Amino acid sequence: MSGPALVLSGTWWVALAVGAALASAAVSLTADRWPRGAIRIAFALLGLSGFAAVVVAVLALSGTASFAAELPLGLPWLHWHLRLDAPAGFFLGLLGLVVVAVSLFGPGYVIPDAQRPYSLKVLGAATGVFVAAMQLVVLADDAFVFMLAWELMSVSSYLLVAYEHMEGANRRAAFLYLLMAQVGAMLVLLAFGVLAAFAADLSFPALRAATLPGPWPSVAFALALAGFGMKAGLVPLHVWLPEAHPVAPSHISALMSGVMLKVAIYGFVRFTFDLLGEPHWAWGVTLLVAGSVTALYGVLYALAQHDLKRLLAYHSVENIGIIYIGLGLAALFYGTGFPKLGVLGLIAALYHTLNHALFKSLLFLGAGVIAQRGHERNLEHMGGLVHRMPWTAAFFLIGCISISALPPFNGFVSEWLTFQTALQAAQLHSGVLRSVIPVTAAMLALSGALAAACFVKVYGIAFLGQARTRRVRHAREAGGTMLAAQALLAALCLVFGVLPTTTVQALSRVTQALTGDAPAAATRHGWLWLTPIAPEVASYSAPLVFLGMFLALAAWAAVYLLLRRRRREQPVPRLDAWECGFGPLSPRMQYSATAFAMPIREVFRPLYAVREEIEREMDPRLPTRAARLRYLFHVDELFWNLLYRPVERSVLHASRTIARIQTGNLRHYLAYSFFTLLALLWLVT
């Protein structure tokens, strides 16, 4: 192959993406000795890896690059199989965009903490391996490589969650994450095992060609749903997610929430819509129920949180539910013989996968800036950050608008496509199915409204008003590269919101590769109009909406500047606001995060496990008078109390019972060995 052709080939860029991530891990091994230089080089290599992944995505989605390779690695009778096609290219591009932003953000976030008692070598090496493992999961073309890369992704991310291991809560969260990851991996392995039992080998082409009799397709689907759903954060398998995401470094939280959860989505989509063949309609109903419950549960628990990163983690649960609603609509319509509607649901799910990766990474990076420069994660201690961090406030606002699904940003388009798919329920022949989808759409609408309310709370409490603590009052803006990372993701939220037709055209190659169908009607009217079903049914022109909003903002700015000029000539007297006789305005007079969410929390109180307490500090001079009152509020994880705590107690009880045989007496241990040997001899003979 000639030089220019080699450079333009997908194989070269894939090798560069994976190789640069591994090189980043290797360079990081010197970080404890040369922290600043090694960290900068490591993140530069991560940026190169992300850029190469984006190039691979462009080549794959444009149809100019694809390959299937067999590497002489692995077992003597089972080599590694790698493949680049449109689905793999799309998820590689999604990963690459977030990795590029993290590479810009990372040095400014990590280097100031170089003096802390945690190893930068472990942080950098695990990050590089984590990125490379996710790339290999997407590129895998056989079950062996897939599971090997999947386990490497889980172990490396466990090291990142446990990075600040001196905190007991961090160690507990990391252990819970690793335990759930291993259980999920076992379920995924069993799902592949069901397919492999009826296939010639473990390669994806062989698994794709396998014919599963009787109930075995549904068994494989159930195992895959549980295994991949555990990693993605489906309720009730999500309990690790709000524990692990907040304790990891913020740029790692962006990678885990923005990308790792999407790798789990990739695995489920690849398994269900590609390897298993045509979905059954019952699978769609299962996904709709699971997605609806997950979306509503996630946003309700996000509303009750005060820790900013924990709140964002619960919103990841909510958005995973929205993605699964789209996948459920796709499976249901495919299973009932409406492939054109099924492909629209799949497009909506993939679009929201991309959107969530962008705006959730943006929000986690913004939370990282607040935690580093404002030294706070508790919303109740924030306030007035818009004055101290104007650029971060602007980018965080874009993330809030995007995740609230408001135009002209990207979150609106994918949720609108999901609703448009759900509105086609009338075409189904079954009355039961026609009634299931509207209920799902109503729960999705409720989740969207609650998400908007939640981020009104977040932005208003954190950025507006007066600072509530001294540390927040002295917060300062992030550095240039950290702002550049946020600006990149904010710009992408706008681009993918304003150009939905171009995005749908690219995603149609993914659906074509997975199911053989593409949404031709959606892009039939050019880049200006998105028509999911037909122009007379529904249409959306994001460029015109953006233009209208831009003109409205321009008119407002012109009026503001005109009035500002007049006010300079004729100043308007400004006086302090009336404080009702209670003295000057203070942060204590502001709405708290707890009070803001209380009305919604009271409506849905049966879904919460609430612990409330009022501490009274009595006046020593007058014991009957309270000198100070303190309100304590905490929301426990409902499913942890219902499902996981009984299992925890049973395991502890069984462990204590079995531990009684550990007497410490040598004669007892010799007797155990003797009787065990007799039993084995009896079984063998």
* Residue-number span of the structural domain to which 626 is assigned: 608-660
Domain annotation covers residue 285: yes
Using a 10 angstrom Cβ sphere, with 0-12 exposed, 13-18 middle and 19 or more buried, the burial of residue 9 is: middle
Q: Are residues 207 and 299 in the same domain?
A: no
The first and second tokens of residue 441, run together, are: 């759409």
Say how far apart CA 464 and CA 295 lie, in whole Å. Answer: 28
Assign 140 to helix, strand or coil: strand
Buried b (16+ CB within 10 A) or exposed e, 523-544: beeeeebbbbbeeeeebbbbee
Report the chain (685 residues): mean pLDDT per 10 consecutive residues.
53 93 94 88 96 95 83 79 94 96 94 79 94 96 94 95 88 93 95 92 91 92 96 93 91 94 96 92 95 95 92 95 96 93 94 96 95 89 92 96 94 94 90 90 95 94 89 89 96 95 93 88 81 84 92 92 78 73 74 85 84 78 76 80 86 86 83 90 83
The first and second tokens of residue 160, run together, are: 């990142």
Q: Are residues 77 and 186 in the same domain?
A: yes
Of 523, 557, 590, the residue at which a domain comes to its end is 523
Say how far apart CA 120 and CA 110 lie, in whole Å. Answer: 8
User: Where do the H-state alpha helices sit in 111-163?
Assistant: 120-139, 143-161
Per the CB < 8 A criterion, the answer to whether 121 and 30 are in contact is yes
CB atoms within 10 A of CB 43: 29
Of 211, 240, 255, the residue at which a domain comes to its end is 211
Q: Are residues 152 and 282 in the same domain?
A: no
Using a 10 angstrom Cβ sphere, with 0-12 exposed, 13-18 middle and 19 or more buried, the burial of residue 195 is: buried
Of 493, 523, 553, the residue at which a domain comes to its end is 523
Q: Are residues 359 and 465 in the same domain?
A: yes
Say how far apart CA 12 and CA 8 lie, in whole Å. Answer: 7
Per the CB < 8 A criterion, the answer to whether 477 and 394 are in contact is no
Q: Are residues 453 and 326 in the same domain?
A: yes
Q: CA end-to-end span of the chain, whole Å?
A: 64
Q: Are residues 26 and 128 in the same domain?
A: yes
Instruction: Write down the pLDDT at residue 645.
Output: 86
Q: Are residues 318 and 402 in the same domain?
A: yes
Per the CB < 8 A criterion, the answer to whether 635 and 301 are in contact is yes
Q: Are residues 507 and 649 in the same domain?
A: no
Q: Are residues 117 and 206 in the same domain?
A: yes
Q: Are residues 89 and 200 in the same domain?
A: yes
Domain annotation covers residue 271: no
Domain annotation covers residue 151: yes
Q: Are residues 519 and 624 in the same domain?
A: no
Domain annotation covers residue 389: yes
Instruction: Write down the pLDDT at residue 114.
Output: 66
Number of domains observed in the structure of the chain: 3
Three-state SS string over 494-517 comes to: HHHHHCHHHHHHHHHHHHHHHHCC
Domain annotation covers residue 368: yes
Instruction: Write down the pLDDT at residue 354.
Output: 96
Distances (CA, A) of 385 to 197, 285, 362, 488: 58, 44, 17, 21
Q: Are residues 378 and 299 in the same domain?
A: yes
Rg for the chain, CA atoms, rounded: 27
Domain annotation covers residue 233: no
Domain annotation covers residue 628: yes
Domain annotation covers residue 582: no
